[in-house]
């Protein structure tokens, strides 16, 4: 599973029963979190209380309470690493976990900014190096790339595409970079299974009743190397119910593999 929590501590408070109940309900073998927005010292050492989970944390050293990623895994990793080659990842954006049959890369891709002030960094620096890293990993083992990838790739991945072409996450440049990833052989699992599905998003702004109106974006993904395609069973967006305070502006997504 993958879940952009938009603040681990706030999400914990607003999740029905907290993360302990979330884990008990869904029983993910692996849970990837993004935007945890805390230092590791602010996470209880016994989190989660289920002792079967191994925890890998990568926090931001650039700014306190910003960005950050985490992986909780019932499967003991063969190795773990943080960051990626060629990028100073002081914002805690990438964790790689090696398993016997694949690499898992949990990623929180930088937003291009309200005024697109980071678009150049994203498309000329981050995205090409991310792809190079994934391709290098793929030479060794199959790859699962997941997280908040911060792009709505197709028109049907955003509620009002005609208005969004110079909005971060839907610029022509960001979408072209995702096309480059997919043209290199990687598979967007959701679109491979549900190529024409509309109105099934993973992010809704907290403003203007966007969640209730389903004015959303598909910004969270599972992308796999082709040698894993035969193992795919399903992928789901686990949308929270309307009413009450949502735990995050994103919903969790789940990938089911039979390996």
Among candidate residues 99, 108, 159, 190, the one labeled active-site is 108
Beta-carbon count within 10 A of 49 CB: 12
Identify whether 48 is preceded by a cis peptide bond (ω within 30 of 0): yes
Query: What is the spatial distance between Cα 103 and Cα 86, in angstroms, rounded to a whole number?
Result: 19
Among candidate residues 53, 133, 153, 250, the one labeled active-site is 250
Among candidate residues 53, 51, 97, the one with its CA nearest the CA of residue 72: 53
For tokens 């119910």, the residue is 241
Query: What is the spatial distance between Cα 19 and Cα 90, in angstroms, rounded to a whole number?
Result: 26
Asked if 142 and 102 touch (Cβ cutoff 8 Å), the reply is yes
Asked if 169 and 217 touch (Cβ cutoff 8 Å), the reply is yes
206 is catalytic: no
The SS3 assignment for 112 reads coil
Among candidate residues 148, 182, 184, 151, the one with its CA nearest the CA of residue 169: 151
The SS3 assignment for 233 reads strand
For residue 19, what are the contacts with CB-CB under 8 A and spacing of at least 6? Answer: 11, 12, 47, 48
Asked if 40 and 57 touch (Cβ cutoff 8 Å), the reply is yes
108 is catalytic: yes
Which positions are annotated as active-site residues?
108, 250
């Amino acid at each position: 599973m993958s879940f952009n929590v938009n603040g681990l501590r706030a999400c914990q408070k607003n999740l029905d029963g907290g993360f302990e109940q979330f884990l008990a309900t869904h029983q993910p073998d692996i849970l990837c979190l993004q935007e945890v927005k805390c230092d590791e010292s602010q996470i209880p050492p016994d989190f989660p209380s289920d002792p079967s989970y191994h925890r890998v944390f990568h926090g931001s050293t650039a700014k306190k309470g910003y960005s950050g990623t985490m992986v909780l895994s019932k499967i003991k990793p063969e190795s773990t690493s943080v960051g990626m080659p060629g990028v100073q990842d002081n914002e805690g954006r990438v964790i790689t976990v090696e398993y016997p049959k694949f690499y898992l890369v949990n990623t929180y891709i930088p937003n291009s900014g309200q005024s697109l002030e980071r678009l150049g960094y994203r498309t000329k620096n981050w995205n090409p190096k991310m792809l190079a890293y994934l391709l290098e990993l793929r030479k060794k083992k199959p790859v699962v790339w997941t997280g908040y990838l911060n792009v709505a790739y197709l028109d049907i991945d955003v509620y009002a595409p005609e208005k969004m072409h110079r909005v971060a996450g839907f610029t022509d440049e960001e979408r072209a970079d995702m096309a480059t990833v997919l043209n290199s052989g990687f598979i967007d699992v959701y679109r491979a299974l549900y190529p024409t599905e509309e109105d099934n998003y993973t992010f809704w702004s907290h403003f203007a009743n966007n969640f209730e109106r389903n004015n959303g974006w598909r910004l969270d993904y599972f992308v796999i190397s082709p040698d894993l395609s035969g193992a795919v069973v399903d992928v789901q967006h686990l949308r929270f119910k309307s009413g009450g305070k949502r735990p995050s502006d994103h919903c969790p997504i789940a990938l089911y593999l039979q390996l």
